[in-house]
Structure 1
Amino acid sequence: MLQELSIRNFAIIDELFLSFEKGLTVLTGETGAGKSIIIDAINLLVGGRGSVEFVRHGEKKAEIEGLFVLDNDHHPCVERAREFGIDVEEGMVVLHRDISSSGKSVCRVNGKLVTIATLREIGGTLMDIHGQHEHQELMNEAFHLPLLDQYGSSEIEQAAANYREVYKEYEQTLVRLKGLSENEQQMAHRLDLIQFQLQEIQNANLQIHEDQELTEEKRKLMNFEKLYEGLHTSYEALSGEGRGLDWIGHVMDQLETAAELDNNYQSLLESVSNSFYILEDAAHTIRNDLDNLEFDPERLNIIESRLNEINQLKRKYGDDIEGILEYSAKIEEEIETITNRESHIEQLQLKLQMLQKDLHLEAKQLTDIREKWAHKLTAAIHRELKELYMAKTIFEVHFHSSADDFANTANPPFRKDGLDQLEFYISTNPGEPLKALSKVASGGELSRMMLALKTIFSKHQGITSIIFDEVDTGVSGRVAQAIAEKIHSVSVNSQVLCISHLPQVAAMADTHLFIMKETKKGRTSTAVKVLGENDKIKEIGRMISGVEITDLTKEHARELLGLAYSIKHK
């Protein structure tokens, strides 16, 4: 749930700190007071699209920060955060977003900088925002299949994943087949090019790590004088009369005498003796290396020429020798494929036929599971609509096409999501035929339909925080009371924040926030007040009657609150 929210310099908000509780929190206030601005801020916090228009006039940036508390370690947010290397400790997630006046957006999750896409992925597991724009989504049949898949949850997702796995191979085979079936002249040009490239790489006779070894040898040759001087000086310091080894040998002789007199010096003698022999071996090695050192300017020219050849190949075919050789193997395989083009086309066509059969079986399995869940969704929506005074409404998931329709089709129109095309149909009046939802539903009916879907999904998937932004548009009377009760029922298992103009919804609130405008130092800003019992009565009275609040209005408000109390405590 969203526990704390901080907003600074956002639209008409100067500075705002809000604490939220479990259950239903209702935000009310006059139009333009800033209710939707608060929801806009939350939307941006969870990855929504930003704009410089959100930055308060005269300020450098807008800042939004929210603390979310998870109810368990298995929340989807925890797994998603780990995928991006973000730790979630003690079940707390802090989202932070800055939008500068220049348009730059900075996002953080638990203090770690992330992209907007990452913020959106993590934020999507924390908050589900439903506004009036989703009515348009509900009217768009393109959203109906994803809604059904969301309801079918893991069972549909598993079948869809199996289908997509085969579909991916099917697409790759199609691309390869199309590539081989292209214009023969283009194919011949391609063959000439890659044959030349392969010959160039093979003529170079590259060896793994050859460039590294040559670079090291070049470095030695270019620093020959320093190398020779260093070895020569080292040898002179060790060998010869009165030099290092001579003095250490003298120490060894003296310690032998001391060890004969006192065994305690035996270990010290051994250490010095070992050092003497090690240094003696080192001196011999240095002497041999000095004898073998030889400066060969011709060898340096050969190395530079070879490295230049390798670097030219790197610029063309790979970042290193391994990359060049990988490219060589790739085009060698392509040459073989083009050379034996006809046989490869035949093989790919056979493979495509087999994949089409497998893909159709997976699509059929996906269709069967979707149809099963479509029946369950239909029954669930009928139950919810009955409680929203739409008992006579008939809802149906209508499949325009499915895998069964293409059982004997040579080339079915496979898509990434299967062969199913479906749309939600309803009939709101007895005797009327079922028609597409987008063609027959009024604004109030769409509000109730969306609320029914959200109620089902919140129970089914355990969404932890939901925002309803004026979903009660276009309803009144007993329907308004039904919507209020439905929104509260969602809040039993989920934290719900709701902007509403309906007194029935406000009466059901566990926490009532009043949003208002105030003027400080000549500037308008948004403020929030948590309403107590008496203030609730006044605000609900205002929502009922408008400007003038009479004793009768207050009595009606008390009656609504009493009714709400009895409903909530059944």
Structure 2
Amino acid sequence: MLQELTIKNFAIISSLHLGFTDGMTALTGETGAGKSIIIDAVSLLAGARSSMEYIRQGSEKCLVEGLFDQPEQPEFKFLLEELGIEVDEAGLIVQRDLNLSGKSVSRVNGRIVTLANLRRIGQYLVDIQGQNDHQELMHPESHLRLLDSFGDAKFQTVKATYKTAYQTYQTLANQVKKFKQNEQTFVQRIDMLKFQQEEIGSAELVLGEEDRLIEERDKLTNYQKIVDSFSYSYQAMTNEETNALDAIGSASQELQTIASLDKDFENISDNVHSAYYLLQDAVSEIGRQLDLLELDEERLDQVNERLELIHQLKRKYGDSIEKILQYYDQISQELLDSDFSGDKLEKLEKELAEKEAALQLLAEKLQAARMTMAKKLETAIQHELKDLYMENARFEVRFKPIRFSAEGIDEVEFYITTNPGEPLKPLVKVASGGEISRVMLALKTIFSKTQDLTSIVFDEVDTGVSGRVAQAIADKIYQIGKNSQALCITHLPQVAAKADHQLFIRKEVIDGRTITKVEELSETERTKEIARMLAGTEITELTVQHAKELLQLAKK
């Protein structure tokens, strides 16, 4: 059940907070007052697509928030667990935020959810039936889904078992089909993978190898520069005429004679002394490097060839040795897993035949359950149509066998005749708009008894009817409200009078801006509003008496 609804900066609604109760609630008011806007807001909470046009003129964003009783179905609890939404005993808080950038954010109990997941949640919370929603009945492809909605938990288990088996069967069937279609492509790919595996494997790449080769190449390429630099440095520090090392040694000895006279002198002496020994080590290392250096042009060619090989492999298989080796592991595993052979195809086809036989049994079980269910639905629909003054109507669910599909081996279409002696014909071809509306209302009445929907919203579904049919529709919506909360936008006084509660929606102009206001009507106010619905602007004493009579009859 929808407990509370908060709307801010939505269309002509500046700020609105509504509380709802169980039973049937009628929403009335003049055309254009904002009744359907409230339903649009509820639709957003059920996962309807948003539009920037919903944002009130002059506002940056709008907000719609609803507090619902948490549905008790186990499937709903599993859904919340799957989506990581925490359960709150106070209820389920659903929120939609829209801003001018076109961005829409959906939250359930504070957790952000995608629009697709919000729709999954919304189907357990509210079912909105608008003036044109009976068009669902005008599409035969929807009839199977409507029939299945009549099924109990046992039926849904049978259907779920079939669907799981069908998905497994379909996956295997696609695998066999792909196996047959892509045999040549598969062989070509295996050949390509083997070539790539051989090319990478024969290179015997080592992590870090490229950096080491580049360093070695740079040394070999700059051989002469290195020799010249070391030779000059060695000569500068060891030459007999300008022996820098001996000069620094002499300076160090001289500084030691005054080091004890001052702390700063001592630091200078120590630094020169350390520098002297560091230079001695450097001269020794330079000499050693000069002895080791030799120009190996053959090795330089080998290094360049190796680097070129690595470059070619990087261009083909990855931008680093690490990625090349990862790709090598990947294709090696694919080659290990590959088993394209006639024997494998034979095994797959045998397995597919076994799956198909098992699926056929499940499909027949599902079909039998549907046929039993269809008979019950036919009886229930005819009973409801009788209450809606279609007592001569006969309703039938007809089956047409088809090849396996995700829904079974059935196509379903509703047939009807509303006149005695006339043959049954497809509902979509013979029923009038008013008859279609009543059939849909009959379905909703039945489903409200078998499904645990939180709320069912009727948006002017009584348009175009009057008299005793209007009263019958009012009775049906009231009956639905006994099983599920029913919210009904109506212009019919018979429907409004039947409601347990009545909300009046009106427009006001404040500071040059139109805003929508909603108030729950007292018994006296309901009499006045129903009188307005009966008579329009000129309300007479007779009209008021008629309104009171409607309310009294509704109470009885």
| Same fold? TM cut 0.5 | yes
1:500 and 1:307 mapped to 2: Cα distance?
Answer: 77
Equivalent in the alignment of 2:5? 5
Deviation at 1:185, TM superposition (A): 5.0
Which residue type is aligned with residue 445 of structure 2? T
Relative to structure 1, the CA distance from residue 200 to residue 380 in structure 2 (aligned partners, 3 Å threshold; closer, same or farther) is farther
Distance 1:321 1:453, change over 3 A: farther
Residue in 1 aligned with 2:44? 44
Q: How far apart are the structure 2 equivalents of 1:201 and 1:541? A: 89
- Name the counterpart of 2:458: 468
Give the counterpart letter for 2:39 in structure 1.
I
The residue aligned with 1:383 is 383
Q: Which residue of 2 aligns with 1:369?
A: 369
Q: How does 1:334-345 map to 2 (within 5 A)?
A: 334=338, 336-337=339-340, 340=341, 342-345=342-345
**Residue of structure 1 equivalent to 2:185:** 186
Post-superposition CA distance 1:47-76 (Å, at most 9, x none):
11101111111211111111113376x565
Tell me which residue corresponds to 1:14: 14
Contact 2:143–2:412 (Cα < 8 Å) also in 1: yes
Q: Which range moves more in the overlay, 373-382 or 173-182? A: 173-182
Offset, 1:182: 2.6
Q: Quick one: structure 1 residues 331 and 398, their matched pair in 2 at CA, closer, same or farther if it must change by over 3 Å?
A: same
Deviation at 1:484, TM superposition (A): 0.7
CA distance in 1, matches of 2:354, 2:489: 55
2:120 maps to 1:116: no
Please name the residue that 1:146 is paired with.
Answer: 145
TM-score, normalised to structure 1's length? 0.75
Q: Which residue number corresponds to residue 354 of structure 1?
A: 354
Instruction: Assess, with a 3 A threshold, how the Cα gap between structure 1 residues 518 and 195 changes in structure 2: closer, same or farther.
Output: same
Instruction: Report which stretch shifted further, 185-194 or 58-67.
Output: 185-194
Name the amino acid aligned to 1:478: R
Q: Check if 1:496 corresponds to 2:495.
A: no
1:181 alignment partner, SS class: helix
**By how many angstroms is 1:160 displaced?**
2.3
Aligned to 1:282: none
Q: Aligned-pair RMSD on alpha carbons? A: 3.1
Structure 2 CA distance for partners of 1:112 and 1:162, relative to 1, 3 Å = closer
The match for 2:194 is 195
1:99 matched to 2:108? The reply is: no
Deviation at 1:145, TM superposition (A): 0.5
100-109 or 323-332, which deviates more: 323-332
CA distance in 2 between partners of 1:11 and 1:526 (Å): 9
Quick one: distance in 2 between partners of 1:86 and 1:479? 44
Unaligned 5+ runs, structure 1:
219-297, 403-412
Separation in 2, partners of 1:164, 1:453: 25
CA contact (8 A) 2:166 2:406 kept: yes
Of structures 1 and 2, the larger Rg is shown by 2
Q: How does 1:326-341 map to 2 (within 5 A)?
A: 327-334=331-338, 336-337=339-340, 340=341
Call closer, same or farther: CA 1:311–1:455 in 2, change over 3 Å.
Answer: farther
- Normalising by the residue count of structure 2, what TM-score does the alignment of the two structures yield? 0.77
Give 1:512 deviation, angstroms.
0.6
43-52 vs 124-133, which moves further: 124-133
C-alpha distance in 2, partners of 1:552/1:307? 99
Residue 96 to residue 165, structure 1, CA distance change in 2 (3 Å): closer
Q: 1:312 to 1:516 in 2, by over 3 A?
A: same
Query: Matches of 1:83 and 1:321 in 2, distance apart?
Result: 37
Number of the residue aligned with 1:70: 70
SS of 2:405 mapped into structure 1: coil
TM-fit CA distance, 1:468 = 0.9
Query: Partner residue of 1:459?
Result: 449
* 2:406 alignment partner, one of 416, 421, 432: 416
* Structure 2: unaligned runs, 5 residues or longer: 213-298
Q: Aligned residue for 1:289?
A: none
Q: Partners in 1 of 2:127 and 2:318 — Cα distance?
A: 50
Aligned length: 464
Counterpart Cα distance in 2 of 1:326 and 1:466: 54
The SS at the match of 1:5 is strand
**Partner in structure 1 of residue 133 of structure 2:** 134
CA gap 1:323/1:473 in 2 versus in 1, 3 angstroms: farther
Residue identity in the other structure for 2:196: Q
Match of 1:543 in 2: 533
